[in-house]
Each structure stands twice: as structure tokens, then as C-alpha cells.
Amino acid sequence: MKIIFLAFFSLFFVSQASAQDQTNLAPASVEKSIYGVQIGFLGAWLYNESRLNDEFALRSQVGFDFRVEGIREFESFGPNSDFYGILHLSLEPRWYYNLDRRLKKGKNIDRNSGNFVALLASLNLESVSFTTNDRIRSLDQIRFVPKWGIRRRLGKHISYEAGFGFGYAFFLNNTERTGFFPFRNERTSNFSVDIHLRIGFDL
């Protein structure tokens, strides 16, 4: 009888301890705030991600988008490739939808390591740009791009991101010139593709 009582008491104690452990487990959540710098093939940026709730974060970003563009004028003999950079400002609400699943599988979610769906709203300004050729002038534009992406931590302060999306760009100075002189068209908006692969240092 004593053995049965001890076994029952032991099972009861283990079950209570297990339940207490489950209660003490913190829910999966994005970080309260992350600051960092990132570089990629076509730019360099400073950013912050601030928690809105357990699964949503607001990313704000400032930096320069780099571009290489070929210019062919009617009077020229061939294309000339020119480099330029243009100021980039953006806000991007992100939904990290799989943090809870990653945590249950024992995977790391530090520094918002997870998959996300986002809506990028970015602004490029011609007034703050640089170029190797005065013929190039970046267009003021605002873009809205729904995106899917991943973010992973490589070390205590190193992380990387990859993502892609499709959206639309609106030219704030009214027109984008396309085609070669004298066969040029002008348009006020255009389909936009956003693909990024970046590595960064989190502060």
C-alpha cells in the first residue's frame, strides 16, 4: 500500500511540475527593438525593428540603393554603364508568422529569426543622390510592394535576410522616360519587383 501511495504521489508531483514548466514558458514573440546595419548587392542601410505585438514588427529603414544603368543616346556609338546611388527611406510592417512553430521545434527565434510577410512602402528621392555621370538623374518615386521573406541569425550579432515581392511604383515628379532618343515614352507609374539578399550586424 505504501509503494502504491509513493508511486501515485510521485506521478502527481511530476505532472504538476510539468504543468508548471508549461505555464512558465514564455510565448514566442518578436524582439522588443532591434537596431542594425545591413549591406547587400545593391545598397547599404540602417534599420530598426520595433515590436507591435508578439507576431508583428514595424521595420524602419534609411540608406542608399545602388544601381547600374546603361545609357544609349541617339548621338552615341554604344551603351555606357553608369553607377549611381539614391536615398532610400522605408517603413515595412512585418508579420513573423511561424515563430511559435519554430520555438516548439526547438529552433532559434532570437533577433526575429523566422519567416515573414510584409508590406514595403519605400521612398526614393532624386534630391539626395550621387552618380558617376551627370546624364543620370534618379526619379523621385514611392513604391508599395507586398513581400515574403526569411530572417535568420548566424551568430550573436550577425544575421541575414532574403525576400521577394511584386508591387507598383509611382513617380512623384510625374514621369519616367523610357526607350532611346528619339523614341521615348513617358509614364507616371510602373510595375515593380523587389528582391533582396542582405547580411547585417545587429547592435
| Distance (Å, whole) CA 84 – CA 65 | 8
3-state secondary structure the chain: CHHHHHHHHHHHHHHHHHHHHHHHCCCCCCCCEEEEEEEECCEEEEEEEEECCCCEEEEEEEEEEEEEEEECCCCCCCCEEEEEEEEEEEEEEEEECCHHHHHHCCCCCHHHCEEEEEEEEEEEEEEEEEECCCCCCCCCEEEEEEEEEEEEECCCCEEEEEEEEEEEEEECCCCEEECCCCCCEEECEEEEEEEEEEEEEEC
Q: Residue 171: its pLDDT value, please?
A: 87
- Three cell numbers, residue 65: 540603393
Give me the domains of the chain, ranges plus CATH numbers: 27-202 (2.40.160)
* pTM (two decimals): 0.77
Q: Residue 35: its pLDDT value, please?
A: 97
Q: Classify residue 145 as exposed, middle or buried by CB count within 10 Å of its CB (0-12, 13-18, 19+).
A: buried
Q: Residue 16: its pLDDT value, please?
A: 46
| Distance (Å, whole) CA 194 – CA 148 | 10
Count the neighbouring beta carbons within 10 Å of the beta carbon of residue 82.
Answer: 16
Model confidence pLDDT, tens digit, residues 20-60: 443 345 689 999 999 999 999 889 999 999 999 999 999 99
Q: Residue 175: its pLDDT value, please?
A: 58
What is the sign, positive or negative, of the torsion defined by CA atoms of 194, 195, 201, 203?
A: positive
- Three cell numbers, residue 74: 541617339
154, amino acid identity: L
170, amino acid identity: F
Q: Residue 79: its pLDDT value, please?
A: 53
> Which residues in the chain show pLDDT less than 50?
1-24, 72-78, 179-183
